[in-house]
């Protein structure tokens, strides 16, 4: 049930990303229409300005056509008569062209305004739909988180793990690098050798503050030494790496591997939770010389020596 909820959330997230990219294209289209509108408004303003100049010139000349007619009637020279006739025709054609340009620019502007309004409206609709999809994803994940934690608490109480749940990882099962951090996005909380009321002597690992259900991954290649439930660490996975070191992933809400399974760097081994002696959702990560508690080394320093900085 929980795995299905996470898969549904993953599919919804993919749909959201497709919608977001489509919305970005739509936004670019709307902005392009707005730029065209600006250019069309400038063109229309220029044409109207030209028409205004012609109208003022005709007014000063005594009414355009009447002025040319008077010149034709009172001309003493036939050449002057013909020149006047040609000038009158040219002026009429110029005015007609300007009027047609003005009408064409007005039509283009009206069509552009319709396109821009439609583009912005479609963008608004897409944005509303995306917000609804995002809310649905959040609701699915919240439901999955608490169902996962509830099942984990029951497993811990019974002292029996429910077994690996295979949750498909988008983009592949492992990382291309040799060593990685145990979670991708996190805030560091209690560090190695910290002291406090929550630990009998000292803190034996590095805590990563993450939400319930956050994918937890093996920091390097190795083999799963154990998967166990119950006790102070709740649900935990222990991985043995080349060189003899072990890494522990504790307070999990679920596991995605089985004992004896080979894992690669970046491969998911579980999902974070708050099982065992835990005051809130987080991953407790340890690096040990042996499988037993008490042989821990500073995880931050060990990872740094392997090219990973926290």
Q: Which domain holds residue 203?
A: 187-305
| 225, containing H or E segment | strand 222-228
* H-assigned helices in the chain: 2-60, 65-73, 78-158, 299-305
* Residue 162 covered by a domain: no
The pLDDT of residue 261 is above 90: yes
Q: Look at residue 179 and tell me if it is in a domain.
A: no
> Is it the case that residue 282 has pLDDT exceeding 60?
yes
DSSP 99: H
On average, the pLDDT of the chain sits at 77
- State yes or no: pLDDT of 127 exceeds 70: yes
Structure tokens at 21: 């990219």
Per-residue pLDDT tens digits for 190-241: 878 665 555 445 678 999 999 988 999 999 999 999 999 878 899 999 999 9
26 shares its domain with 141: yes
Confidence label for 138 from pLDDT (cuts 50, 70 and 90):
confident
CATH number at residue 48: 1.10.287
Q: Is residue 180 part of a domain?
A: no
The enclosing domain of 299 has a CATH number of 2.70.70.10
**Residue 197: its pLDDT value, please?**
52
145-198 pLDDT, tens per residue? 777 778 778 777 777 776 666 655 543 445 556 999 999 988 888 878 665 555
304: which 2 tokens? Answer: 């740094």
- Give the model confidence (pLDDT) of 94-120 as tens digits: 667 767 776 776 777 777 777 777 877
Torsion of CA 144, 145, 151, 155, to 10 degrees: 140
Specify the number of domains making up the chain: 2
């Amino acid at each position: 049930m929980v795995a299905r909820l996470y898969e549904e959330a993953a599919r919804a997230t993919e749909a959201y990303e497709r919608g977001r990219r489509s919305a970005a294209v739509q936004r670019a289209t709307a902005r392009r229409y707005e730029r065209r509108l600006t250019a069309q408004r400038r063109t229309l303003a220029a044409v109207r300005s030209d028409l205004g100049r012609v109208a003022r010139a005709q007014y000063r000349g005594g009414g355009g056509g009447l002025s040319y007619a008077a010149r034709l009637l009172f001309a003493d020279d036939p050449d002057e008569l013909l020149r006047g006739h040609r000038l009158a025709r040219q002026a009429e054609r110029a005015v007609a062209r300007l009027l047609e340009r003005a009408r064409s620019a007005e039509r283009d502007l009206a069509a552009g305004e319709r396109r821009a309004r439609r583009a912005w409206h479609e963008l608004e609709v897409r944005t509303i739909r995306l917000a609804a999809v995002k809310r649905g994803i959040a609701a699915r994940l919240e439901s999955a988180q608490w169902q996962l934690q509830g099942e984990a608490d029951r497993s811990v109480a019974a002292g029996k793990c429910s077994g690996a749940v295979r949750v498909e990882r988008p983009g592949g099962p492992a990382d291309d690098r040799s060593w990685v951090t145990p979670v991708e996005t996190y805030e560091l909380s209690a560090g190695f050798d910290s002291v406090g009321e929550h630990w009998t002597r000292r803190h034996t690992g590095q805590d990563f503050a993450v939400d319930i259900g956050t994918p937890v991954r093996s920091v390097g290649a190795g083999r799963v030494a154990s998967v166990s439930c119950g006790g102070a660490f709740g649900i935990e996975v222990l991985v043995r790496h080349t060189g003899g070191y072990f890494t522990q992933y504790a307070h999990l809400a679920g596991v995605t591997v089985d004992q004896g399974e080979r894992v690669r760097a970046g491969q998911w081994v579980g999902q974070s939770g708050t099982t065992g002696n835990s005051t809130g959702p987080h991953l407790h990560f340890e690096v040990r010389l042996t499988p037993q508690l008490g042989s821990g080394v500073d995880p931050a320093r060990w990872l740094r020596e392997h090219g990973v900085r926290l």
